[in-house]
Amino acid sequence: MTAVGPRLVERSAQLAELADHLAAVRRDGAGRMVFVGGEAGAGKTALLDHFVTASRAPATSGRAEPFHAPRALGAVLDIAAQLGGRFEEQVAAGGSSVDLVAALTTQLPTDGPAVLVFEDVHWADEATLDFLRVVGRRLHRLPALVLASYRDDEVGRAHPVRTLLGELATERAVLRLTVPALSLAGVGELAGGAVTDASALHELTAGNPFFVSEVLAAGEQTVPDTVRDAVLARRARMSGPAGELLDATAVFPGRVEPWLLERVAGPAYAEMEACLASGMLVPDGEGVRFRHEIARVSVEESLPPATRARLHAAALAAMVGHAPAVDPARLAHHADGAGDTAAVLTYAPMAGERAAELRAHREAADQFALALDRATAAPEAVSGDLMARLLERHAYECYLTDRIDEAFASRQRLLGLHLQTGDRLGEGDTRRWLSRLAWFRADRETAEREAEAAVRILGGLAPGRELAMAYSNMAQLRMLAHDAPGALSWSDRARCLAEDLGETEIVVHAQNNAGTAELLVGRLDGAELLERSLAAALEGGLEEHAARAFTNLGASFTELHLLDRAAEVLDRGIDYCRDHDLDSWRLYMTGWRSRMHLDRGDYQRAAADCATVLTNPRAALPSRIQPATVLGLVHARRGEPGAWPLLDSARAHARRADELQRLAPVAAARAEVFLLEGRSDEVAAETGDLLAACLELGDSWLAGALLVVRRRAGVEDDVPETGVAAPYLLELTGRFEDAAAAWEELGQPYERAWALIDARPDLARGGVALLRELGAGAAADLASRELRDRGVRGLPRGPRPRTVDHPYGLTPREAEILALLAEGLSNAEIAARAFLSQRTVDHHVSAVLRKLGVDNRRDAAARAADTLGR
């Protein structure tokens, strides 16, 4: 049972709102989820505790704690332990989020809605956040009120909780509630005459209830300067054993179990009553915790280092060997606090393996990083084998979560170890990894060099799986460089060897490269090969290979302009990667999906996908090229500023990657923007070399795109008879109507519009109208100018039909701002995401509010779900 604090000040509105949500769950039989945000000490926990007690609904809660790396599935495990049954079984068995939510559904009370509380999700691990994401998407089948508290000032743009909020932004049953600071009157009420100058207290504390209550409880004559001083003044008044008990409690983030605290505090444990009576500790479930985490941290930080280490050591000693076993993340935390390197080296890797099993790869990487850090500081304590294993595991978990630079650094250190010990097999295999990672860093030179070195070194040893992977890596590099014959021959070598060795995983990898290479040269059998590799990977639970198969299918279909198939595969693949915490591929595929949306003429979705990738600071360079190009084109076609910085960075990244499949689309995009800006002279230089390369390597779509954009700029190229994709070839040979029909068939309205414009005056008008409908105002203006010069009259002008069509008359840009606003972003954050100045965003936001007829962001966000057209 949670303790209900004293009466709450200024929270009746929030309590009523929560009560309304609970009533709605009861009424509709469908769940709701409320994210309760507020700064540390704003009173989120106090509000939720109060609500839960007052509502009398059956409630279960779990919390995340600020460990070095959080417990994998921490809050979910708490709740599972309370609910038991099938849910607990599924959690223990490491079921996927989808399975867990299904099990949870079967276990909710049937006589009325339950309340599930997830506290402090800003500290939650990846697996818990994923669970919440699935909960948010399945509320219609989960008749519960799910409350998740988080510190909204601690989740910056790149914080996973922001991503989660963004992903759930369009779910109608997912809502937000902010716990605001107290007003001057509220502070006065809380002080209840205990201070003479409530306004000084209000000013000092900025109305933060925790700070206010701490100052009041400290009862000093003078008001302390900081909340920490107020906490420590209170601690100082607890003399003797009661103080010792507080100190012992302070080394446990979150709550601590009685058996554990008793072991650590010794005789001082008898002072529990006094500590509870003082209000510094509060009961929590079967254990206790500090009334507030800020107080705990203040006390822990004030401990003399030796005392602190001793307490952590005592905690560790009490936990080791305890049955049931304590979460290894907790052991690692205390081992580290005790400064016990040997124990860190035991428990952090254990916690890392456990996190990896539960698909919390980010936490796994953090645990291996902790172990590595301590091992590096005390090399004498670490065997070469252990060091190698830590580097290996750290590198792999970082690779899975797109922390490519860290992965690269660990592989380099690992290479150093292998060179020292003369381990040729290890060296060859590590070089193969370095090659792969260098590719992610868009460093083709290193990628090629290390790939060749790996084949050379491993080729001199007895053939094994490492050599087969080195072959397959070569195949992959050739494939990425659009060298289909090269890719096919290397993947054959890989496949033969892997089959001899019975290495299914490598067979799958090689099949994947071969399939992609076939598709590259336009042979659709490649898709079948890839589908087979995908099915084998899914069946064998080979997550990484499944992700690669999705990626290569999605990218190839997009490149071949098979947009419906691309959409289907990319949606599936992105979902799969999100479910399995495979960020690198999720972001890379999201970039490709932005291109697919662009080609389909859906600029809003394209821009949203671009924003997802570009605003993620961990997105690797190759993942950024496509979305930077696409967003540049969207801006330019709409006639908005901001295209060039994006196209410049796309070109810089593409040049480093030095692959045709990156360079050519960037060049085509830049050429198009030159045209739109009336700078046709620049087109030839931008595209010349790349056109030759596309023709040489037989990339008919990119060749076609470059030829057409050059033709529009007045460059006279010979049109080759083969090697140019059909719709482009039709345009180049003057069969514009057929070209328009071909583009229509492919579902590409923008290209269709231009073909119509070039066809006949009567069709041209339709083409211009189509461009306006798409929101491509700048393109429509350019086309109109050209047509007027050619003497065509009666061209459609005026407001873009899109603006008129939007239910609230929002412009495409305003609709995009609304989508970001609905994610709960501030104007400054929106500015950063949309690549606009903050003033411009302020301006757009007021326009959005005005047009929606609402006066605050929250109502606007609530309405966003309806207007986003989902």
Ligand X SMILES: Nc1ncnc2c1ncn2[C@@H]1O[C@H](COP(=O)(O)OP(=O)(O)OP(=O)(O)O)[C@@H](O)[C@H]1O
Instruction: Tell me whether residue 473 is exposed, middle or buried, using C-beta atoms within 10 angstroms of its C-beta: 0 to 12, 13 to 18, 19 or more.
Output: buried
User: Phi then psi for 168, rounded to 5 degrees?
Assistant: -100, 5
> Which among ligand X, Mg ion, none contacts residue 8 (Cβ within 5 to 8 A by kind)?
ligand X
- Provide the 3-class DSSP secondary structure of residue 225: coil
User: At closest approach, how far in Å is the CB of 59 from Mg ion?
Assistant: 15
Q: In this structure, is the dihedral angle defined by the CA atoms of residues 88, 90, 95 and 97, taken in order, positive or negative? A: negative
Which residue, 41 or 622, has its beta carbon nearer to ligand X? 41
**Of all residues in this chain, which one has the CB nearest to Mg ion in the complex?**
45
Q: Do 61 and 118 form a contact (C-beta atoms < 8 A)?
A: yes
Bond from prior residue into 324 cis (ω within 30 degrees of 0): yes
> Which among Mg ion, ligand X, none contacts residue 43 (Cβ within 5 to 8 A by kind)?
ligand X
Distance of CA 187 to the CA centre of its chain: 39
User: At closest approach, how far in Å is the CB of 9 from ligand X?
Assistant: 4
Range 238-257 burial, b when 16+ CB lie within 10 A, else e: beebbbbbbbbbbbbbbbbb
Q: Of 40-48, 71-79, 219-227, 352-360, which segment contacts ligand X by CB under 6 A?
A: 40-48
Which residue, 130 or 293, has its beta carbon nearer to ligand X? 293
Of 37, 38, 113, 207, the one binding ligand X (CB under 6 A) is: 38
Q: Do 650 and 629 form a contact (C-beta atoms < 8 A)?
A: yes
Which residue, 120 or 126, has its beta carbon nearer to ligand X? 120
> Which among Mg ion, ligand X, none contacts residue 46 (Cβ within 5 to 8 A by kind)?
ligand X
- In the region spanning residues 106 to 165, those forming contacts with ligand X, defined by CB under 6 A, are 120, 151
User: At closest approach, how far in Å is the CB of 42 from Mg ion?
Assistant: 9
Which residue, 50 or 403, has its beta carbon nearer to ligand X? 50
Instruction: Tell me whether residue 304 is exposed, middle or buried, using C-beta atoms within 10 angstroms of its C-beta: 0 to 12, 13 to 18, 19 or more.
Output: exposed
**476 is a contact residue toward Mg ion (CB under 5 A):** no
Which residue, 7 or 793, has its beta carbon nearer to ligand X? 7
> Which among Mg ion, ligand X, none contacts residue 820 (Cβ within 5 to 8 A by kind)?
none
Which residue, 44 or 802, has its beta carbon nearer to Mg ion? 44
Of 44, 359, 548, 844, the one binding ligand X (CB under 6 A) is: 44
User: At closest approach, how far in Å is the CB of 351 from ligand X?
Assistant: 24
Q: Do 585 and 548 form a contact (C-beta atoms < 8 A)?
A: yes
CA nearest neighbour of 121 among 22, 36, 21, 60: 36
Q: Do 694 and 702 form a contact (C-beta atoms < 8 A)?
A: yes
Please tell me the distance from the alpha carbon of residue 111 to that of residue 447, in angstroms, as a whole number: 61
Q: Of 44-52, 89-97, 267-275, 576-584, which segment contacts ligand X by CB under 6 A?
A: 44-52
**41 is a contact residue toward ligand X (CB under 6 A):** yes
Please tell me the distance from the alpha carbon of residue 414 to that of residue 431, in angstroms, as a whole number: 10
> Which among Mg ion, ligand X, none contacts residue 11 (Cβ within 5 to 8 A by kind)?
ligand X
Which residue, 11 or 44, has its beta carbon nearer to Mg ion? 44
User: At closest approach, how far in Å is the CB of 135 from Mg ion?
Assistant: 20
Of 5, 464, 747, 801, the one binding ligand X (CB under 6 A) is: 5
Q: Of 18-26, 44-52, 590-598, 609-617, which segment contacts Mg ion by CB under 5 A?
A: 44-52
> Which among Mg ion, ligand X, none contacts residue 704 (Cβ within 5 to 8 A by kind)?
none
DSSP 183: P
Please tell me the distance from the alpha carbon of residue 361 to that of residue 399, in angstroms, as a whole number: 10
User: At closest approach, how far in Å is the CB of 104 from ligand X?
Assistant: 24
Give the contact letters, 275-304, x = binds to ligand X (CB under 6 A), - = no.
----------------xxxx----------
User: At closest approach, how far in Å is the CB of 503 from Mg ion?
Assistant: 50
Q: In this structure, is the dihedral angle defined by the CA atoms of residues 573, 578, 583 and 586, taken in order, positive or negative? A: positive
User: At closest approach, how far in Å is the CB of 229 from ligand X?
Assistant: 17
Of 45, 513, 604, 623, the one binding Mg ion (CB under 5 A) is: 45
User: At closest approach, how far in Å is the CB of 235 from ligand X?
Assistant: 16
Please tell me the distance from the alpha carbon of residue 431 to that of residue 446, in angstroms, as a whole number: 10
Q: How many residues bind ligand X (CB under 6 A)?
A: 23
Bond from prior residue into 645 cis (ω within 30 degrees of 0): no
User: Phi then psi for 37, rounded to 5 degrees?
Assistant: -105, 155
Give the contact letters, 379-418, x = binds to ligand X (CB under 6 A), - = no.
----------------------------------------
**46 is a contact residue toward ligand X (CB under 6 A):** yes
Q: Of 2-10, 558-566, 582-590, 778-786, which segment contacts ligand X by CB under 6 A?
A: 2-10
Which residue, 231 or 815, has its beta carbon nearer to ligand X? 231
- Provide the 3-class DSSP secondary structure of residue 599: helix
**Of all residues in this chain, which one has the CB nearest to ligand X in the complex?**
43
Which residue, 113 or 824, has its beta carbon nearer to ligand X? 824
Q: What is 397-448 written as a DSSP string?
A: HHHHTT-HHHHHHHHHHHHHHHHHHT-HHHHHHHHHHHHHHHHHTT-HHHHH
Distance of CA 526 to the CA centre of its chain: 31
User: At closest approach, how far in Å is the CB of 44 from Mg ion?
Assistant: 5
End-to-end CA distance of the chain: 41
User: C-alpha dihedral over 234, 236, 239, 244, to 10 degrees?
Assistant: 90
Please, what is the angle between helix 827-834 and helix 838-852, to 10°? 110
Please tell me the distance from the alpha carbon of residue 517 to that of residue 480, in angstroms, as a whole number: 9
Give the contact letters, 196-215, x = binds to ligand X (CB under 6 A), - = no.
-------------xx--x--
Q: How far is CA 687 from CA 520, 665, 670, 680, 730, in A?
A: 21, 10, 9, 12, 21
User: Phi then psi for 118, rounded to 5 degrees?
Assistant: -110, 110
Which residue, 154 or 781, has its beta carbon nearer to ligand X? 154
**213 is a contact residue toward Mg ion (CB under 5 A):** no
User: At closest approach, how far in Å is the CB of 51 from Mg ion?
Assistant: 13
Which residue, 292 or 432, has its beta carbon nearer to ligand X? 292
Hey, what amino acid is at 304?
A: P
- In the region spanning residues 776 to 835, those forming contacts with ligand X, defined by CB under 6 A, are none
Q: Do 123 and 65 form a contact (C-beta atoms < 8 A)?
A: yes
Which residue, 66 or 486, has its beta carbon nearer to ligand X? 66
Strand pairing category for 114-119 and 287-290 = unpaired
DSSP 94: T
**42 is a contact residue toward ligand X (CB under 6 A):** yes
Which residue, 45 or 205, has its beta carbon nearer to Mg ion? 45
Residues of this chain that interact with Mg ion (CB under 5 A) are 44-45
Residues of this chain that interact with ligand X (CB under 6 A) are 5, 8-11, 38, 40-46, 120, 151, 190, 209-210, 213, 291-294
